[in-house]
A = this chain, B = another copy of it.
Amino acid sequence: MQLEKSIIDEANHKQQAAHQRKFDFVAADINGLDTIIQKISDFNIAIPSWALGTGGTRFGRFSGGGEPRSLEEKIEDVGLIHALNKSSNSISLHIPWDIPKNAASIKALAAQLGLHFDAVNSNTFQDQPDQQYSYKYGSLHHVDKAVRKQAVEHNIEVINYGIELDSKALSVWLSDGSNFPGQLNMRGAFERTLESLHEIYDALPADWKVWIEYKPYEPNFYSTTIGDWGQSYLLASKLGKKAQTLVDLGHHLGSTNIEQIVSLLLMEGKLAGFHFNDSKYGDDDLTVGSINPYQLFLIFNELVEGMDARGLNHATGIGWMIDASHNIKDPIEDLLQSVEAIKIAYAQALLVDQPALVQAQQNNDVVLAQEILQHAYRTDVRPLLAEARLRSGGALNPLAIYRQQTIRKQLIEERGALAVSTGL
């Protein structure tokens, strides 16, 4: 299903006066207002195809209903989100869950909804029914050359699907690791991984990147072969300029200073982009901003400062994607909340008085530096986001329209209450 523009316009019209009052209030104190609104408008976050269905844990999964049954329906769901928030203009596909049988028609469908294709994702953390070798003991790091070869070929196949869709990056998350001490020679595993990645790297088109994700644990619980940013960076620097490190917010040990990692990867030209989510314990994959929104702001503060220092375009300089799991929320609502939280953090970071901050840092005025950051963070920037949506043709209040239009109910009617999307 698609949402008619007139519905959005009508809803916006009713809220216009209330919005204007709020916007005028916050706008009054902002220098360069239009530039900031434009930056907020330009900032889009890709939706991964697997985030449109209900997620679960090893203990079970409680299905929602009306989940997309095909790649086309996934694209339609992203189209709905984008129509509402004008902030999610791309989708990130996962192979083999989303093999585009007819790339041309898939691209046409996406284009009609204002969408394009973000990074394509390979999967060597699960066995597929028709697969010759098992990934039980790893893929790109496997001790058996034949298994590695199969995994390399899968990645190259994913690149080829991506080329058809005008994607420009391969995103590699490797679950390879070990559950027990002794299981693995960790040096050997690293060296084999590097060798495999080299083969994949060599298959990349000239204008592509490979994004190397890291994660300390889960599904392996003793070691992970690409376990932290240092290991990902080491691989990326050995591979070459097309290889960079992807940061997933949930993929860190407790208390890790993620913003420092972001700052240093930007410094080294090795920050590929982000997988956004939030967490309290491990890789909880919760709605972005639902647990620690200040940390998200601090990360964006580093991003804005660091990207500006390198002359990178905020919207396109690196990759932005949500990677969350919707175990108990309607996936579309969850994604709307996540996008909102990301853009709030971004807008707050844009409000940081950078010259004053630099001066406070130069003076070691720690109190003032904190005041400067917290002034931006404590500002209620939601009217700025609403205005940016309004100017782009989106909804002042996306979630309200989604609910008023009973979209989930319609999707269930269309797709069934038991429709289960591919994913975790």
Is A101 close to B, CB under 8 A?
no
Nearest B-chain residue to A358, judged by Cβ: B185
- Complex interface bits, A298-338 against B, C-beta within 8 A gives 1, otherwise 0: 10011001100100000000000000010111100110010
Is A355 close to B, CB under 8 A?
no
Is A14 close to B, CB under 8 A?
no
**Count of this chain's copies in the oligomeric assembly:** 4
Interface residues on A, range: 35 or more
Contact of A185 among B218, B268, B305, B370 (CB under 8 A): B305
Is A190 close to B, CB under 8 A?
yes
Please give, as numbers and ranges, the residues of chain B lying within 8 Å of A287 by CB-CB distance.
180, 370
Please give, as numbers and ranges, the residues of chain B lying within 8 Å of A254 by CB-CB distance.
253-255
Q: Is there contact, CB below 8 Å, between A134 and B62? A: yes
The interface-forming segment of A92-100, A114-122, A153-161, A223-231 is A223-231
A362 to chain B, nearest CB (A): 5
Q: Is there contact, CB below 8 Å, between A136 and B373? A: no
Q: Is there contact, CB below 8 Å, between A190 and B267? A: yes
Please give, as numbers and ranges, the residues of chain B lying within 8 Å of A233 by CB-CB distance.
230, 234
A17 to chain B, nearest CB (A): 13
Q: Is there contact, CB below 8 Å, between A366 and B183? A: yes
In angstroms, Cα B253 to Cα A218, docked, is: 16
CB-CB contacts below 8 Å: A48-67 with B: 55-60, 62
Is A19 close to B, CB under 8 A?
no
Q: Is there contact, CB below 8 Å, between B328 and A399? A: no
Q: Is there contact, CB below 8 Å, between A223 and B327? A: no
Q: Is there contact, CB below 8 Å, between B217 and A366? A: no
Please give, as numbers and ranges, the residues of chain B lying within 8 Å of A134 by CB-CB distance.
62
Please give, as numbers and ranges, the residues of chain B lying within 8 Å of A230 by CB-CB distance.
228-231, 233-234
Q: Is there contact, CB below 8 Å, between A263 and B186? A: yes
Known: A290-B181, A367-B333. Contact between A255 and B257, CB under 8 A?
Answer: no
Q: Is there contact, CB below 8 Å, between A126 and B59? A: yes
Q: Is there contact, CB below 8 Å, between B290 and A292? A: no
Contact of A399 among B62, B218, B282, B367 (CB under 8 A): B367
A121 to chain B, nearest CB (A): 13
Is A379 close to B, CB under 8 A?
yes
Q: Is there contact, CB below 8 Å, between B227 and A260? A: yes
In angstroms, Cα B306 to Cα A131, docked, is: 35
Is A360 close to B, CB under 8 A?
yes
Nearest B-chain residue to A267, judged by Cβ: B187
Is A45 close to B, CB under 8 A?
no
- Complex interface bits, A376-393 against B, C-beta within 8 A gives 1, otherwise 0: 011110100000000000
In angstroms, Cα B137 to Cα A374, docked, is: 21
A221 to chain B, nearest CB (A): 4
- Return 17 A-B CB contacts under 8 Å, by A number: A57-B218, A143-B364, A181-B259, A181-B291, A182-B372, A185-B305, A221-B284, A227-B260, A228-B230, A234-B268, A255-B281, A292-B294, A329-B366, A333-B367, A367-B399, A371-B399, A378-B382
> Which residues of A approach B to under 8 Å, CB–CB?
25, 55-60, 62, 125-127, 134-137, 143, 175, 178-188, 190-191, 216-219, 221-223, 227-231, 233-234, 253-257, 259-260, 263-264, 266-268, 279-282, 284, 286-287, 289-295, 298, 301-302, 305-306, 309, 325, 327-330, 333-334, 337, 344, 357-358, 360-362, 364, 366-367, 369-374, 377-380, 382, 399, 424
